[in-house]
Amino acid sequence: MDDRPAKGPGADSGAGSRLGANSVLTNSVLIIAVLSCFAAAHWLQELLTPLIVAVFSLFLIDILADQVGRWAPRTPEWVRVGAAFAFIIILLGASGALIWRAAPRFSLSLAEAAHRGQDLVYDLSDRLGLPLSDKPLSEAIDFKSLGFGLLSAIRRFATGLLLVIVYLGFILASRRTFASKLDRLFKTAESRSHAERVFQRVRLGAESYVGLQAFKGALLALIFWVVMRLAGLDNALFLAFLAFLASFIPIIGPAAAVILPVALCAAQYDLGLRPVLMGVALEATVIAIDSVLLPRLQGERLDVDPVIVLVSLGFWNAIFGITGALFSTLLTVVVIAIVSEVPRLQWLAVVLSKRGHGSANTGGAAP
């Protein structure tokens, strides 16, 4: 005869409530840990920002190296990676030199355009009979402080650029030992396979996005430069470089890339047909690339909800500043790729993804 007490419905409900409480506690601890990581990232943004740019550059290096491999299949891997690394370093150096030389002159052009814009506003208000303050713009805006702020930003950029190059060199050097580290971190074949799947999903998703956006930015900058040169606008090369950077900021970036040159053209040549035609040409370029060309190239590889794209812009900007805004969609793609492989966080991948699959389609990643 079995003397053990029978388990009634109350015992099952008690076990279920304990399991539910444990699940809530685990999820709460996980959420607190994630929020703490974001807070630490914000606190360490000056250190982490060059690392993010270095990882972004690494994706570009892999894309270029793969492209060289398609053109010349017999080329050794170290030659392909070395050539791509040298090309990226040259691009970073050229960007730094362009900012160092053009930014001060561009700041003076902005000041002149502001004064010219004020004169145009005064003239327009006189014609329309509108009341307007007689306070000069030089008293309303401290251009001296703005100049010092610009020089300080240039120095920070130069320091950050050196850190990016150092980070990139060390990341490339340590990639050879990644496989051995993976074997030591994950002892079982199942856990190691899971880690490799997560890494490949992150890599493929990030490279797909980086490649498309870099192509879009380069094409946008080239057409902008041609249009602005034809319009006779000063600082056309620097404005084209800003358009390339702005193309990485979703939604508001391309709009800002059009507004600034048009405003400078109106200040340089008065309100007339030239700035209007230039604005129409630039806006048509943005619409053609964003609405026609990019969707055809991108297809369904970027599985991010459009609303999440806008929300992530403000979220990552709050954590990493302007660098977070530039790479907001890329960081969101990486988050989707990671959480889609974590059972407790797959609901987040479903929320963030456009199709609601929660699988972060990465153009070839394992489902």
Per-residue pLDDT, 282: 92
| Domain membership flag for residue 14 | no
Same domain, 104 and 87: yes
Same domain, 305 and 293: no
- Mean pLDDT (whole number) for 204-216: 82
| Domain membership flag for residue 316 | yes
Looking at 194, 217, 240, which one is the last position of a domain? 194
How do residues 147-182 score in pLDDT, each as one tens digit? 556 556 666 776 777 888 888 888 888 777 777 777
Is the distance from CB of 99 to CB of 153 less than 8 angstroms? no
Report which residue type is found at 333.
Answer: V
Residue that is written with structure tokens 């607190």 in the block: 32
How many structural domains are present in the chain? 3
Same domain, 262 and 295: yes
Same domain, 127 and 160: yes
Of 116 and 319, the structure prediction assigns the larger pLDDT to 319
Looking at 249, 276, 299, which one is the last position of a domain? 299
Same domain, 50 and 190: yes
Residue 31: is its pLDDT beyond 80?
Answer: no
Per-residue pLDDT, 364: 39
Alpha carbons 298 and 366: distance in angstroms, whole number: 19
| Domain membership flag for residue 1 | no
Same domain, 367 and 231: no
| Domain membership flag for residue 29 | no
- Mean pLDDT (whole number) for 309-322: 85
Alpha carbons 275 and 13: distance in angstroms, whole number: 73
Is the distance from CB of 340 to CB of 358 less than 8 angstroms? yes
Same domain, 58 and 179: yes
Per-residue pLDDT, 227: 93
Looking at 278, 299, 320, which one is the last position of a domain? 299
| Domain membership flag for residue 288 | yes
Same domain, 345 and 244: no
Burial letters 240-278, b for 16+ CB under 10 A, else e: bbbbbbbbbbbeebbeebbebbbbbbbbbbeeeebbeeb
Same domain, 119 and 185: yes
Per-residue pLDDT, 362: 42
Per-residue pLDDT, 363: 42
Alpha carbons 286 and 253: distance in angstroms, whole number: 10
Residue 234: is its pLDDT beyond 70?
Answer: yes
* Domain range enclosing 177: 45-194
How do residues 253-278 score in pLDDT, each as one tens digit? 888 889 888 888 887 887 778 888 99
Per-residue pLDDT, 366: 34
Same domain, 249 and 292: yes
Same domain, 277 and 314: no
| Domain membership flag for residue 87 | yes
| Domain membership flag for residue 61 | yes
Same domain, 234 and 257: yes
Long-range contacts of 166-170 (CB under 8 A, 24+ apart): 167/50, 167/51, 167/54, 168/54, 168/57, 168/58, 168/61, 168/85, 168/88, 168/89
| Domain membership flag for residue 8 | no
